[in-house]
């Protein structure tokens, strides 16, 4: 049997912990990424053992498809007024529960679902903690393709030290990455992330959303060597 890396082992532990919280009849928001995928694999086990009836609001087609395969009812985010609670991963978090998300490209729907949710739990392995948010991780900014250069210029005027159009590699070729909404992502590096930055980036003409989640997380469940720890705001 394949041995799991420490990070994968921790993803599995936090996945088990979050899935144990799900109660029948709830409407839950489901994020995107490998930690969420691990949770959906655990949810599959519960769905097999119990006839679990849930309503799910997914943050990407990938997560929605996985939930549909489990026989769960998947609702579009624009059809619901609220969500009992949601869980999602993160690329970085700091001691004030501020997050960077969106390296997986699903930040727009992730923010909608987090905002609609009465309680937002972030599930992470311990390597996602950073004392200086943004160190070694860009802030993903989803923007209209025709506004690319203008948005990059405005990001620099907000303090970005570097901006880069996100590309993907396939069959040794490089392609522009497009989101589910048909937009580009500009990854912007900042050495200092002030609390006003999330809103200021969204005020730039042509920006749909950005990957800073500075106030949304209510709780972070982090898998550490000693077990799963809960951090509350």
Is residue 55 annotated as a catalytic residue, yes or no? no
Nearer to ligand 5RP, 163 or 179 (CB): 179
> CA of 13: how far to CAs of 6, 7, 16, 98, 202, in Å?
11, 10, 5, 22, 35
CA dihedral 189, 190, 193, 197 (to 10 degrees): -80
Judged by phi (left if over 0) then psi (alpha if -120 to 50, else beta), residue 32 lies in: beta
Beta-carbon contacts of residue 81 (< 8 Å; ≥ 6 apart): 116
Q: How far is the CB of 213 from ligand 5RP (least distance, A)?
A: 9
> In sequence order, which residues have a C-beta less than 8 Å from that of residue 21 and are 6 or more positions away?
121
Q: Give whichever of 15 and 47 is closer to ligand 5RP, judged by the CB atom.
A: 15
For residue 131, the tally of other CB atoms under 10 A from its CB is 7
Q: Provide, rounded to whole angstroms, the least separation between the CB of residue 188 and ligand 5RP.
A: 15
Smaller CB distance to ligand 5RP: residue 27 or 166? 166
Q: Does residue 71 come out as left (phi exceeding 0), alpha (psi in the -120 to 50 range) or beta? A: left
**Closest distance between ligand 5RP and the C-beta of residue 146, in Å?**
23
CB of 53 to ligand 5RP, least distance (A): 26
Q: Which of 147, 140, 65 is nearest to 102 (CA)?
A: 140
> Closer CB to ligand 5RP, residue 151 or residue 185?
185
Residue 33 or 138 with smaller CB distance to ligand 5RP: 33
Annotated catalytic residue within 50, 55, 69, 110: 110
Judged by the rule CB under 6 A, the positions of this chain that interact with ligand 5RP are: 31-35, 88-91, 101-107, 110
- Which is it for strands 139-143 and 227-232: parallel, antiparallel or unpaired? unpaired
Query: What minimum distance in Å lies between the beta carbon of 42 and ligand 5RP?
Result: 14
Residues marked active site are found at: 110
């Amino acid at each position: 049997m394949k041995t799991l890396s420490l990070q994968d082992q921790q993803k599995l532990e936090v996945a088990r912990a979050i899935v144990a919280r799900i109660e029948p009849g709830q409407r839950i928001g489901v994020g995107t990424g490998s930690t969420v995928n691990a949770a959906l694999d655990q949810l599959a086990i519960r769905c097999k053992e119990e006839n679990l009836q849930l309503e799910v609001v997914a943050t990407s087609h990938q997560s929605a498809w996985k939930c549909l395969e489990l026989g769960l009812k998947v609702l579009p985010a624009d059809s619901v007024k609220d969500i009992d609670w949601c869980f999602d991963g993160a690329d970085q978090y700091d001691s004030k529960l501020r997050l960077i998300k969106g390296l997986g490209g699903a930040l727009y729907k992730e923010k909608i679902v987090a905002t609609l949710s009465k309680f937002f739990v972030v599930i992470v392995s311990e390597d996602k903690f950073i004392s200086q948010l943004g160190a070694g991780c860009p802030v993903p900014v989803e923007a209209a393709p025709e506004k690319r250069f203008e948005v990059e210029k405005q990001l620099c005027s907000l303090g970005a030290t570097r901006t880069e159009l996100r590309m993907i590699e396939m069959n040794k070729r490089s392609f522009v990455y497009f989101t589910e909404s048909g937009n580009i992502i500009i990854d912007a590096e900042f050495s200092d992330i002030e609390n006003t930055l999330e809103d200021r980036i969204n005020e730039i003409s042509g920006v749909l959303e950005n990957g800073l989640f500075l106030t949304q997380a209510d709780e972070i469940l982090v898998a550490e060597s000693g077990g799963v720890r809960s951090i509350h705001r």
